[in-house]
Structure 1
Amino acid sequence: MNLTRTTPSSTTPAGLPMTIAASHLDGLVLALTPNSHSYNYRSVVLFGHATLVTDPAEKLYAMELITNSVVPQRWANSRVPPNAAEMQSTSVLKVKVVNGSAKIRTGEPHDERGDLEDGGLLERVWTGVVPVYSVMGEPVAGGYNRVAEVPGYLEGWRKEVNKEAEGYAREAVGREVEKKTVDE
């Protein structure tokens, strides 16, 4: 964050050069041989330049977007706006993306032709995909919580996120598979 506060020279683009990478695992792909094992995944790498957000209104707006991207409607259902100390201690970067690269791997195992022609091997080794997804568990109230029930916006979001995560992981196999929801 401190590096973004320096003034760029006239020969460099505005802002601190930045690389942002993210990966998400959707499944373990188990083949006939370990050399053919793989993963179903989604990944992205972005390149750009970051600058510090200094305008208080823009910073507040960014903080709201960030908060609501974690749990929708959470900003409005918490103590806002942040107090002066919270605003002072929080830094927000704005990144202008210049380019990027994304990769997605979906589907079933892909084994070598020789292995696929070996009937004994096909009868001995299980192949397939183990879907991988995160589950948002039952909310646990804080020690000083006085609200009797989990708010509807939170519980509805939790169930929807779980359903979507499982659905995507299973769809990444690349064919219709038997589905059971997390809440069943």
Structure 2
Amino acid sequence: MKLYLARHGESEGNLRDIFYGHLDLPLTEKGKQDAKIVGEKLSDIEIAHCYTSPLCRASETAEIALAGRDVPITVCDDFIEQHMGEYEGIPFEALYAKMGDEIFEMLRKWPDVILPGGETFFDVKCRVENSIGEIVKKGEDSLIVAHFGSLSAIFSCLLALPNAVTGVFSFDHGCISCIEIDEKWTRLLFFNR
């Protein structure tokens, strides 16, 4: 089976450069174009099922990308973005003013950071693990549309990557990645294509 993974298109949170985690912010016009680009990249690929985060930036990306195709879309709460706790809705600039260069150290160590009132990367990984297991059991070529944090956790689970490595992956808007799973191997076929 093949799992195609796509990050949502650009959202208002990306545009405003804020930590937005569970905030349900819509796609920008560019984000809608990102979603169309994902759809174009998937146009010749058979997709049996799509799973998406409940946040509108992900579900709208899935709907736009699969428009005109008969692909069922299932909302999966486990694929929601990492909760940013006290940082939710705070602009990066404001956190930098408060924390100084310490914020860059925090971002560098992101998988190990405990966000005040929020989730750790380990929390997200535990959350996505069961849902990914169920999807893999079905054995269908599927699309998952989610977020930077939850996609990183999926990569970590499926490719047996240590938490520290997941921070080096940057899931771009308008791109897809693919992990192939068979009875012998799980392998990354391509990333950010």
Question: How does the TM-score come out when normalised to structure 2?
Answer: 0.24
Q: Which structure has the greater CA radius of gyration?
A: 1
Question: How does the TM-score come out when normalised to structure 1?
Answer: 0.25
Where is the helix percentage greater, Structure 1 or Structure 2? Answer: 2
Larger RCO (CA under 8 A, 6+ residues apart): 2
